[in-house]
Amino acid sequence: MAELWRYPVSSVGGQSLPQLDVSPAGIEGDRRFALFDPANGLAAAPEREPRWRPALFLDALRDKSALLPQLRFPDGETFWLDDSRLNHRLEAHFGFAAGIGAYGGLDDGADMRFPIVSNRYAPAALHLVTTASLRALADAGTLPPLDHRRFRPSVLIETEEGDGFLENAWIGHDIKIGATMVTVTEPTRRCGLTMVAQPAIDEEPQVLRTIMRHNARNLGVYATVQAPVTLSVGDPVYAGI
C-alpha cells in the first residue's frame, strides 16, 4: 500500500495517514460529517452543483486524540467543526450560507450537536485504486499522469506487475492486505467529481469521458473487512486471482 487516506468531512480534501483503523462499518473517523445547505437541508454535491466546487479547496483534519475534525481553509485558517465562527467563514468561502451536518442518527452514534443530514450514497468500508489503473486511464485518454487525489481512494495500491484496470478482476474475490483478508464487493462508479479542480489539480472533463469509454464508468473498487483491523502504509497486497 503506497498511501492511506481518510476524509473526515465528505466532499472536502482529506488527510494522508500512516495507518487506518478499519471495521466492517468503515474507517474510523471517515466521512462522519458533511457540508450542507441550511436552506434545504441537503448535503453538498460538488459533482452536480458548481456552487459547491470550492469545497475541494478545503481540508478536513483529525488527530487521533481529538473528538472532532478541523476544517482548514486555503489561507491556512483552521476551525474546529463546532466553532461558532465556522458558518460565517463557510459563507464567505462559498458565497452562500453553508453549515456542517452529521451523517446518521442517534442509533448510529452521530454527534447530535450538529444537524443530521442524509448520506447521498451507501458508504463502503474501503475504496481501493491501483497505480496500474491510473496509468491505463491516462494512456487510454492520452491524458497527462493522473493524480490519485482526483479519485479520493482510501487505499492507493502501488502495483509492480500487470497492466490495465486490474481491480476489475478482484470483484467478488478476497485479496490479502498485510495479514488481513478483505472482500472486494463492487466497482467504483465515477461521477463528475473526477474532473473538478483541486489544489494543484486542474479541471479536466476528459477524465470522466475516458472512464466512461474505456471502463464502463468505473475506476477502482469497494471492499469490506470481516473484523476490525489496522492497515499500515507499506503493507503488501496480494491478489492471487
Residue ranges per structural domain of the chain: 3-13+25-117, 126-238
pLDDT band for 108, please (50, 70, 90 cuts). Answer: low
Give the whole-angstrom CA distance, residue 102 versus residue 118. 8
Residue with cell 479520493: 152
pLDDT given for residue 106 in this prediction: 46
pLDDT given for residue 119 in this prediction: 86
Give the whole-angstrom CA distance, residue 60 versus residue 127. 18
Of all residues in the chain, the percent with pLDDT exceeding 70 is 97
Question: Does position 122 have pLDDT exceeding 80, yes or no?
Answer: no
Against a cut of 0.85, is the pTM above it? Answer: yes
CA dihedral (182, 186, 187, 193) positive or negative: negative
Question: In this structure, which topology does domain 126-238 adopt according to CATH?
Answer: M1 Pyruvate Kinase; Domain 3 (2.40.33)
130, 168 Cβ separation under 8 angstroms: no
